[in-house]
């Protein structure tokens, strides 16, 4: 089996994490997994949604979008069609759920953190790149809250990162790019914390069902890949 | 650990599968997992969506809804609000993807099967009950196509069923009802075929991350539960 | 003239009224007029819409929907299309107006009763079955309010029921089923109280205008049919 | 009983029917029932909706709207809110159904007549004024089709007109204006053809149920009022 | 160069300004520029939008619509399509911005003036006619506020009016009608105050770019035309 | 008068034009006017909208959006709200109209060019930066069409660029940034071709009306600024 990119089965694409990418957001990160480029902004907004008011805790929510020509052929703009598509909704719920697992909402005070992941260029794995980059933006936003004494405690519970794995031509591979993703038998997105705790596992058989052995092999790849991503996240935060 | 229902950790709720529940649909099943009741209709409609026209193959798509008072407190009606919520979209995409894995679309001819899963009464596990019941409705709809010689081959590839598993008070349990689901640490929905092939695995940490050991224990419970559901599906089809 | 069902011109279909059909709603009734089956849930929600706030009175509102495959050929799901159709809007306004005529809103306190009529299976006359069944669900919901001392007075003013009448092949007939309804010259929906007071009369010429004599004959059929429905409603409440 | 306007119980408001009110529409009528002023345009558009294509027959459809400040206090603009209200939908369905009863769609050829009733100033009875005025606009549009030999036969079957009646302070009255309408016990809208054939009867108890005697008295008033409206329609067409 | 209407290059169409056109609005003007007829209603509503609350100042906002058959061929009704078109949005923003330049919002108190411009019949120049007519309606609405002592100061700052100019067959012309507008090389809408102060200039090259000389010539025509419109506005207010 | 940025009244911000910014679009430009950064993608899509089909000519259309945190405080995402705001609609119409003036649609063949301008970071002047950058993306897209022999003639008619000018503290200034824009008395957006032909002039009095002298001074600044922008566009295309 030869991957289209020539990578080894357990090899990530080149990863770049650029902080302070835009000037307005409290956390702003451009994350690149090879040719996949996502701008992840974390915005701090005072107040919480109605269902949480008066409970002294915070909230985190995420939205995801693709620029119309982030893809090989132009997609219709969701704002113009008046509706977010089902895939968009599914992805932004995953991002929000994953990042909420990284923070202690009770320590946030009555603040809401809005995560916006906007895909500038897509080449497979936009949702996992989004989660990985957004966690760094979130860390900067929480540091901003702490530096301005807008929170008392330590809202950040753990680092999380995410990567996709799959079965490509019968073999488990890490971090699928678009040519692999569009031909994979199975596609799995995994979110894991830096202490190895599992946050999300979403495996989908695209053509053929997968076996438990394949599942275990994919999970192993994901764990190693995410450990590397955790290192890159921390290095970025130390710069 | 005592489950609120008094069930054993590996015990399903009482399962009922009633075929021919309504008279118009080609497949019509009321599925009950304890107090969770979902009407699953499979409708055969000639023709396929534009992106498949002229390719000689069929399509399967699914929609999901909850009646406004299927739940403990009344939810707004999505038709009146003019929008399906994010959870609805996520669930109906899962149902459609899972059932497409059960059929050979090439053998369907240019027909579309619409699966409608409407929750009459909710008590946890509506998405897994939907998939389990909808597969039986799908089997009836395909039998209808075959009996009327509207397809040449054998579109049904395999039986699939689905169940939820989770970590409740630190222990893995099968088929969570609402009191368990709303207090679980981890919630996982699994779709498996009758030959053991895995179709979908969606595990989510609600409060604390889960470990690989917990993951394996949950998966084991799910496999056994689904094997029992497969037997019940087949028994229903033989009646 | 022979009715497709073989019924006499003044003969109702078999009527079934099943209370406590689902477990969450304060009133929950499955009503069947022959093959027409509608689930009518009455939900008590504290509070009233903004235009009534602070006046010490209550409100009642109704919504209606058809499951996509309640009909012979599948209809698009209104929640997915993002809009309720004109027929739906017209029917739910009729249901709400009719049931408001049955209650003394001033005696309800600042509570809102939401009536949800969802058609499980359609065979003509869904709006009249909805009103007839929803009144029983409403009676249970009001009994719940009284039993829990959430109201002071007696909000229920009168029993109401509804039936359709029409001119089929030149002759007035009671309680049209779908084969009759789709070929009728005139279709009339009538809502009458148990003391004979008229609440709603909606007669529509489908093909030919109707005469006053025909109108009177239809009204006579409706009155007798509704008297029988009132008896069945009360019998159901006594069970 | 004294009517707020000083009219007799069986007295219409001053009625004005102005043809050719705007220059573009094939039929354009400003109809005034006292201070209620509605612009009724009938537009001929070649072609029919998809469900009628290829059957050689035509179609008629109606839309209704109120200018935001046609009423005593300003209403939100439906185009800005992105949705037609329930009352609007109910009224435009009534207008369309009533006018379709006036024409033989088979004689129209594959043409669609769009009726637009836009309320310039409201003072009660806008739906009945709309039907009455729109029939005259329709007559002009059909005359246009005939003059240009776009139809073979005679599409117009009959003249129709409409008026409201009600029970005001216990007494039946004809053609309610806003002060009466907002205090009436019963409100009934009637559409009748010039040969006395009944097209639509929609009676609604607002506060108290009404009796058959009241119903008959209201119907009698409506018949006489409509006969007068028919005379005014024909006089307008002869000018 | 011969204008289709036979007018001189610097000649306005016949202008009519009819006040008190409808009875409910605080200001109600039918403005006619030749065959272009727009009903401009100004409604006073207590209160301001959330972003201005508690600041003691008022607001003015405008909406614009065309009746579906105000034009040569029928346009779809925006309320039925569920969306205002881009041209509508652009025009109503221009109307609102222009009229806000005529008033001192600080002198309005916490009141909102809603301007509704609804095109009854279109023949070119509907936006400039709207602004010209709406200013007169606004003057009446402000007089109403002053007469009822709902404002302290003098909210009206200046009179404004608007006209279109363009390059038609190479020559600058004033107040284009539809036959000119649809063939013009350049179209420019100008809003000027009665002291000559410029409020809005919107010039658009339709086919060929325009030169500064053409621009100056058009602006000169606009200034003279608007001076005449100011005279007509004031004459209308004195009647 | 001191500009907040310390620039001279006739001084542009630092301008950067980066071609081939993303890999999928036929033309992809990141344009920066100081801290304002807009990604302008030009996509070639075969075919034209229905109203142009069969006429052998092409079309160009534009859409505009701001990323939610491109601004100082987070704005709601238009895709999530289900509607593009009025400002967005106004701007994308201006961009499309301006760029259509740059091309000969008849020479494009039946192709549509979609321009997408997405604001990554906003600091005033996003619409003029969009037009200036999008023209370069358009030039690349047309070169792509020519290189692939998808067009016969030379669709590009002229270079265009755009800049804002305004009256800030009583003085005309070029290329307003956000601190100036939010305090300007007058704001004017100008689009001019490289031969000096004027394409669009949109001047708006924000607080006080402006005089013809001010208008002329602003126009002079805009012409000089645009000449400089034209040079930068051409330099970028030669790199």
Q: Do E125 and E164 form a contact (C-beta atoms < 8 A)?
A: yes
What pLDDT is recorded for position C62?
A: 98
> What is the distance in angstroms between the CA of the first residue and the CA of the last residue of chain F?
38
What pLDDT is recorded for position C115?
A: 98
Question: Which chains are adjacent to chain D, needing at least 3 Cβ pairs under 8 Å?
Answer: C, E
> What is the distance in angstroms between the CA of the first residue and the CA of the last residue of chain B?
38
Q: How many residues are present in chain E? A: 239
User: What does pLDDT average to over chain C?
Assistant: 96
Among the partner-chain residues F93, F196, F205, the one whose CB lies closest to the CB of E199 is F205
User: What whole-number distance in Å separates Cα of residue B118 and Cα of residue B43?
Assistant: 14
Mean pLDDT (whole number) for F142-161: 95
Tokens linked to F138 = 């358009």
Residue A85 CB neighbour total at 10 angstroms? 15
User: What whole-number distance in Å separates Cα of residue A134 and Cα of residue A30?
Assistant: 9
DSSP letter (8 states) at residue C110: S
User: What whole-number distance in Å separates Cα of residue C148 and Cα of residue C151?
Assistant: 8
* CA E115 remoteness from chain centre: 10
Q: Do A26 and A139 form a contact (C-beta atoms < 8 A)?
A: no
* CA B65 remoteness from chain centre: 13
Contact B69 C25 (CB under 8 A): yes
Residue D60 CB neighbour total at 10 angstroms? 24
Contact A24 F78 (CB under 8 A): no
Closest CA to D25 of D41, D37, D40: D41
Q: Do A224 and A197 form a contact (C-beta atoms < 8 A)?
A: no
Residues from chain C contacting residue B96 (CB–CB below 8 Å): none
Q: Do F116 and F40 form a contact (C-beta atoms < 8 A)?
A: yes
For the cut 80, the answer to whether the pLDDT of residue B207 exceeds it is no
Looking at chain F, which residue has its C-alpha nearest residue E204? Answer: F200
Contact A43 F79 (CB under 8 A): no
User: What whole-number distance in Å separates Cα of residue F110 and Cα of residue A192?
Assistant: 50
Helix, strand, coil abundance in chain D, percent, nearest 5: 35, 30, 35
Q: CA dihedral defined by F42, F43, F46, F47, rounded to 10 degrees?
A: -60
The CA R_g of chain C, rounded to the nearest whole Å, is 18
Is the confidence metric ipTM above 0.90 for this complex?
Answer: yes
Contact E90 F89 (CB under 8 A): yes
Residues in chain D whose Cβ is within 8 Å of chain C: 83, 86-87, 89-90, 92-93, 97, 101, 158, 188, 192-193, 195-205, 208-212, 215, 219
User: What whole-number distance in Å separates Cα of residue A89 and Cα of residue A80?
Assistant: 16
Q: How far is CA C172 from CA A75, E104, F113, in A?
A: 57, 68, 63
> What is the distance in angstroms between the CA of the first residue and the CA of the last residue of chain E?
38
HSE, CB side, 13 Å, CA atoms: give it for residue B174. 24
What pLDDT is recorded for position E208?
A: 87
Closest CA of chain B from A97, distance in Å: 8
The CA angle C65-C68-C70, to the nearest 5 degrees, is 80
Closest CA to C239 of C136, C102, C166, C142: C136
For the cut 80, the answer to whether the pLDDT of residue C189 exceeds it is yes
Closest CA of chain C from B158, distance in Å: 25
Contact B215 A203 (CB under 8 A): no
- Tokens 């120049």, located at residue: E125
Closest CA to F27 of F156, F124, F122: F156
Q: Do D124 and D37 form a contact (C-beta atoms < 8 A)?
A: no
Dmax over CA atoms of chain A, in Å, equals 57
Tell whether the torsion through CA atoms of F227, F228, F233 and F238 is positive or negative.
positive
User: What whole-number distance in Å separates Cα of residue C70 and Cα of residue B65?
Assistant: 14
pLDDT digits (tens, 9 = 90+) for E57-79: 999 999 999 999 999 999 999 99
User: What whole-number distance in Å separates Cα of residue A90 and Cα of residue D2?
Assistant: 64
Closest CA to B215 of A87, A223, A92: A223
For chain B, percent of residues with pLDDT exceeding 90: 96
**Residue B69 assigned to a binding site:** no
Q: DSSP of F59-81, one letter per residue? A: EEEEEEEE-TTSSSSPPPPHHHH
Tokens linked to A94 = 């995953």
Among the partner-chain residues C43, C79, C84, the one whose CB lies closest to the CB of B84 is C79
What is the SS3 assignment for A78? helix
User: What whole-number distance in Å separates Cα of residue F133 and Cα of residue F18?
Assistant: 9
pLDDT digits (tens, 9 = 90+) for B28-47: 999 999 999 999 999 999 99
Query: In sequence order, what E strands does chain D have?
Result: 15-19, 27-33, 36-46, 59-66, 111-121, 160-168, 171-174, 186-193, 198-205
Q: Do A119 and A87 form a contact (C-beta atoms < 8 A)?
A: no
Residues from chain D contacting residue E116 (CB–CB below 8 Å): 67-69, 74, 77
Dmax over CA atoms of chain F, in Å, equals 57
Mean pLDDT (whole number) for B148-161: 94
User: What whole-number distance in Å separates Cα of residue C162 and Cα of residue C129?
Assistant: 7
Lowest mean pLDDT among A91-95, B133-137, C73-77, F151-155: F151-155
For the cut 80, the answer to whether the pLDDT of residue E207 exceeds it is no
Across the E/F interface, how many CB contacts are shorter than 8 Å? 83
Contact A209 B203 (CB under 8 A): no
Closest CA to C162 of C101, C225, C93, C217: C225
- Residues of chain D whose pLDDT is less than 50? none
User: What whole-number distance in Å separates Cα of residue D101 and Cα of residue C203?
Assistant: 13
Among the partner-chain residues E90, E198, E200, the one whose CB lies closest to the CB of F90 is E90
**Residues annotated in a binding site of E for phosphate:** 87, 125-127
What is the SS3 assignment for A152? coil
Residue E218: pLDDT band (50, 70, 90) is very high
What pLDDT is recorded for position C202?
A: 97
Q: CA dihedral defined by F115, F116, F117, F120, rounded to 10 degrees?
A: -150
Residues in chain A whose Cβ is within 8 Å of chain B: 83, 86-87, 89-90, 92-93, 97, 101, 158, 188, 192-193, 195-205, 208-212, 215, 219
Residues from chain A contacting residue B192 (CB–CB below 8 Å): 209
User: What whole-number distance in Å separates Cα of residue D56 and Cα of residue B160?
Assistant: 49
**Residue D56 assigned to a binding site:** no
For the cut 80, the answer to whether the pLDDT of residue F207 exceeds it is no
> What is the distance in angstroms between the CA of the first residue and the CA of the last residue of chain D?
38
Mean pLDDT (whole number) for A197-216: 93
Q: CA dihedral defined by F209, F212, F214, F220, rounded to 10 degrees?
A: 140
User: What whole-number distance in Å separates Cα of residue A73 and Cα of residue A65?
Assistant: 16
Closest CA of chain C from D23, distance in Å: 31
DSSP letter (8 states) at residue D112: E
Residues from chain B contacting residue C22 (CB–CB below 8 Å): 37, 69-70, 120-121
Q: How far is CA B200 from CA A6, A205, B164, B194, E98, in A?
A: 29, 6, 11, 13, 59
User: What whole-number distance in Å separates Cα of residue F198 and Cα of residue F193?
Assistant: 6
- Tokens 């009517």, located at residue: D3
User: What whole-number distance in Å separates Cα of residue F197 and Cα of residue F159?
Assistant: 10
Mean pLDDT (whole number) for A23-32: 98
Dmax over CA atoms of chain D, in Å, equals 57
State the pTM of this model. 0.95
Contact C116 B78 (CB under 8 A): no
Contact A211 B204 (CB under 8 A): no
For the cut 80, the answer to whether the pLDDT of residue B27 exceeds it is yes
User: What whole-number distance in Å separates Cα of residue D163 and Cα of residue A167?
Assistant: 72
Tokens linked to E84 = 């205002």
* CA E202 remoteness from chain centre: 13
What pLDDT is recorded for position D67?
A: 98
What pLDDT is recorded for position D197?
A: 96
What pLDDT is recorded for position B200?
A: 97
Contact B121 C65 (CB under 8 A): no
What pLDDT is recorded for position D207?
A: 75
Mean pLDDT (whole number) for C192-208: 93
For the cut 80, the answer to whether the pLDDT of residue E43 exceeds it is yes
Q: What residues pair up with C60 in beta bridges, in sequence order?
A: C113
User: What whole-number distance in Å separates Cα of residue C160 and Cα of residue C230?
Assistant: 7
Residue E81: pLDDT band (50, 70, 90) is very high
Q: How far is CA C146 from CA C135, C143, C237, F202, in A?
A: 16, 5, 15, 66
Residues from chain A contacting residue B188 (CB–CB below 8 Å): 201
Alpha helix segments (H runs only) across D68-205: 78-81, 86-100, 126-147, 178-181
Closest CA of chain C from B31, distance in Å: 14
Looking at chain A, which residue has its C-alpha nearest residue F24? Answer: A72
Phi, psi of E80, rounded to the nearest 5 degrees: -75, -35
DSSP letter (8 states) at residue E57: -
Closest CA to E146 of E115, E114, E111, E193: E111
For chain E, percent of residues with pLDDT exceeding 90: 96
Among the partner-chain residues D89, D195, D215, the one whose CB lies closest to the CB of C198 is D215
**Residue F125 assigned to a binding site:** yes
Contact D65 E43 (CB under 8 A): no
Looking at chain C, which residue has its C-alpha nearest residue B70? Answer: C24
What pLDDT is recorded for position E88?
A: 97
Closest CA of chain D from E208, distance in Å: 31
Among the partner-chain residues D90, D192, D210, the one whose CB lies closest to the CB of C93 is D90
Q: Do B222 and B163 form a contact (C-beta atoms < 8 A)?
A: yes
């Amino acid at each position: 089996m030869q991957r289209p990119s020539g990578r080894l089965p357990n090899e990530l694409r080149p990863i770049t994490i650029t902080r302070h990418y835009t000037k307005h957001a409290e956390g702003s990160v451009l994350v690149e997994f090879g040719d996949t480029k996502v701008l992840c902004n974390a915005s701090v907004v005072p107040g919480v949604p109605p269902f949480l008011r008066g409970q002294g805790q915070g909230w985190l929510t995420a939205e995801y979008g693709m620029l119309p020509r982030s893809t090989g052929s132009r997609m219709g703009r969701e704002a113009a069609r008046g509706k977010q598509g089902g895939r968009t909704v599914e992805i932004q719920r995953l991002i929000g759920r994953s990042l909420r697992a990284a923070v202690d909402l009770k320590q946030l005070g009555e603040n809401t953190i809005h995560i916006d992941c906007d895909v500038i260029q897509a080449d497979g794995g936009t949702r996992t790149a989004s989660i990985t980059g957004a966690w760094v933006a979130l860390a900067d936003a929480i540091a901003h809250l702490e530096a301005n004494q807008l929170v008392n405690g330590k809202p950040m519970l753990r680092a999380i990162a995410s990567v996709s794995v799959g079965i490509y031509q019968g073999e488990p591979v890490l971090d699928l790019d678009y040519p692999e993703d569009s031909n994979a038998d199975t596609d799995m997105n995994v979110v894991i914390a830096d202490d190895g705790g599992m946050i999300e596992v979403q495996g989908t058989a695209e053509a053929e069902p997968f076996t438990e052995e394949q599942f275990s092999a994919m999970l192993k790849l994901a764990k190693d890949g995410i450990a590397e991503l955790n290192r890159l996240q921390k290095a970025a935060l130390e710069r």
